[in-house]
Amino acid sequence: MKAWSGFVKPLIVVWVTGVIVAGFLVPVPRIPILEHTARNLYFHVPLWFALMAAFLLSGFYSARVLANGRIEDDIRASQAALVGIAFGIMGIVTGMVWARFTWYVGTSKWWNNDPKQVMAAVQLMIYASYFVLRNSFDEPARRARVSAVYNLFAASTVPFLLYVLPRQLESLHPGGEGNPAFDEVTDPAMRLIFYPAVIGMISIFWWIYSQRVRIVLVEEALEDDG
């Protein structure tokens, strides 16, 4: 672990710096309405991939808590959710700003109940409730199990937000009704930056998440000693 993490972290720094510089400087095709805001594809969409990674990781560790009751898995599940909240808020804000100056230009709308916005907001509400629930416990073992139950129960409703609601609400996102799918609108050249940006954002998520886990583990160990 130690040997390769010392090499991986500088690599993440170089990789993400490269993605950001390329994202701002490499020419993008001039699509009407989108124009230069198309560059947000490199930042907004990867933030959502990172939130999805956080969601899967948190659910995975919550299931492990139920299987073996280890406190460390509970710490991992909660820290994945915590870092996920940060990425989710950034994803919502970048999306709102992007939509405000493209789809809703001239309407002064910031929020339009787009199914993807609803899904993101609900996911953040779930994690916020998850932390409120966690903070109400004193006993670590019970906190681990009950909050894992809530995390997984809430996760069971996410497929409805992902697949069912978009069919009932109108969406302006790619793939929505009457909108071209991602493949048709995205210039192949943009994918050369987009896919590395996804990898970079998920790596940053993983980095912050693993640091958070280590901090909490150290804090717990200090509490046990004192």
Partner 1 sequence: MGWLSGAIAVLAKDVQLERRSRYALNTLLLFAVSSLLIVAFAIGGAPLSTGLRSVILWIIILFSAIAGLSHAFVSEEERGTILLLQLNATASAVFVGKLLFNLGLSLLMNTVVAVMFAVVLGFGEANVPALAAILLLGAIGLSGATTLISAIIARTPNKGPLFAVLSFPILVPLLVSVVGGTTKALEGGGIADVFAELSTLVGYAGMVITASVLLFDYLWRD
Task: Report yes or no: 78 and 137 within 8 Å, Cβ to Cβ.
Answer: no
Q: Which of 38, 148, 197, 201 binds partner 1 (CB under 8 A)?
A: 148
Q: Outline where the chain has alpha helix (H).
A: 2-25, 44-68, 71-100, 115-135, 140-155, 158-159, 165-168, 182-185, 188-225
The least CB distance from residue 157 to partner 1, in Å, is 5
Nearer to partner 1, 22 or 149 (CB): 149
Least gap, CB of 159 to partner 1 (angstroms): 7
Q: How far is the CB of 67 from partner 1 (least distance, A)?
A: 10
Give the closest residue to 59 by CA, choosing from 76, 37, 36.
76
Does residue number 90 form part of the binding site for partner 1 (CB under 8 A)? Answer: no
- Of 96, 152, 172, 199, the residue at the interface with partner 1 (CB under 8 A) is 152
Task: Please identify which residue in 145, 173, 191, 212 interacts with partner 1, judged by CB under 8 A.
Answer: 145
Region 113-132 residues binding partner 1, contact defined as CB under 8 A: 118, 122, 125-126, 129, 132
- Contact letters for partner 1, residues 167-196 (x by CB under 8 A): xxx---------------------------
107 is a site residue for partner 1 (CB under 8 A): no
Q: Return d(Cα 109, Cα 226) in angstroms, integer.
A: 53
Secondary structure of residue 40 in the 3-state scheme:
helix
Q: How far is CA 165 from CA 112, 160, 161, 181, in A?
A: 14, 6, 5, 17
Structure tokens at 116: 């993807």
Name the residue nearer to partner 1 (CB basis): 72 or 207.
72
What is d(CA 177, CA 96) in angstroms, rounded to the nearest whole number? 20
Closest CA to 147 of 213, 139, 214: 139
Q: Which amino acid is at 173?
A: H
From 37-45, 90-98, 147-155, 212-220, give the range in contact with partner 1 by CB under 8 A.
147-155
89 lies in the binding site for partner 1 (CB under 8 A): no
Is 86 a binding residue for partner 1 by CB under 8 A? The answer is no
Residues of this chain, 47-66, that bind partner 1 according to CB under 8 A: 66
Question: What whole-number distance in Å separates Cα of residue 10 and Cα of residue 7?
Answer: 6
**Which residues lie near partner 1 (CB under 8 A)?**
66, 118, 122, 125-126, 129, 132-133, 136-138, 142, 145-146, 148-150, 152-154, 156-157, 159-161, 164-165, 167-169
